[in-house]
Structure 1
Amino acid sequence: MNVVLWIVQILLGLAFVISGAGKFVSPGPGARRQEAYREDFTPAQLRGIGTLEVLGGIGVVLPWATGIAAFLTPLAAAGLGLIMIGAALVHRRRKEGFAVNLVLLAMAVIVVVGRI
């Protein structure tokens, strides 16, 4: 079970670090259609969300890996789960697909339950 949790943690961490870092960059013309949700947020809000995603992505792996403040890992996963609930609601309101948000939410729940 520990190996499965590590795989989920690493995948979750990578997904959020990459996604969060992407919120600091303006999308190209082709990506604008896929990231239409950006219209609902100011640049400052996008940077704030990106910052939370990057910190959560780091927090879901690093504390448990180092053994320093390991209690932060399930807390970071819970925070990422809350972000995914908000993201799913935004995509649902815009009548866009939100399956990826639900998968990431499920992964976050697995980490929370497995690391408590």
Structure 2
Amino acid sequence: MIIAFWIVAGLAALAFLAAGLMKIARPKDALASSGLAWVEDFTSGPIKLIGVAEVLGAIGLVVPPLVGILPVLSPIAGIALAVLMAGAAATHLRRQESPVPAIVLALLSVAAAVLGFLTVA
């Protein structure tokens, strides 16, 4: 069970870390020109905040169980990332875009949370 957790949490953490760093590092115009059309609905502040939330969630998925300090924070981070992706899916649906990537990341986050709760107990 622990191996499954590390695989799922590691994949989710890598995906969210990459996405979050991209949102933090690149300006809004560069994000829009690279295919993230949803940024047109937001100002730069909330976009950066979403990026920070994704980076913190990625760190929260792997660091607590890795260091053995409050490992229950890992599944909580997974739940928080799933909620973030639910908001992303709603935004994409409102814009009549495909919500599939957000739904897949939400399911991956939920899987990491479930596996995290099973390994913590």
Over residues 11-69 of structure 1, what are the superposed CA-to-partner deviations in whole Å (9 max), with x where a residue is unaligned? Answer: 100111110111121226751xx200001111011111111110001101111111111
Unpaired runs of 5+ in structure 1? Answer: none
Helix, strand or coil at the partner of 2:59: helix
User: Which structure 2 residues correspond to residues 46-57 of structure 1 after superposition, within 5 A?
Assistant: 46-57=47-58
Matched, 1:15 2:53: no
CA spacing shift, 1:29–1:59, aligned 2, 3 Å = closer
CA spacing shift, 1:97–1:6, aligned 2, 3 Å = same
TM-score when normalising by structure 1: 0.92
Counterpart of 2:72, as a letter, is F
Helix, strand or coil at the partner of 1:70: coil
Unpaired runs of 5+ in structure 2? Answer: none
TM-score when normalising by structure 2: 0.89
Task: Please tell me the root mean square deviation across aligned C-alpha atoms, in Å.
Answer: 1.3
User: Which structure 2 residues correspond to residues 36-51 of structure 1 after superposition, within 5 A?
Assistant: 36-51=37-52
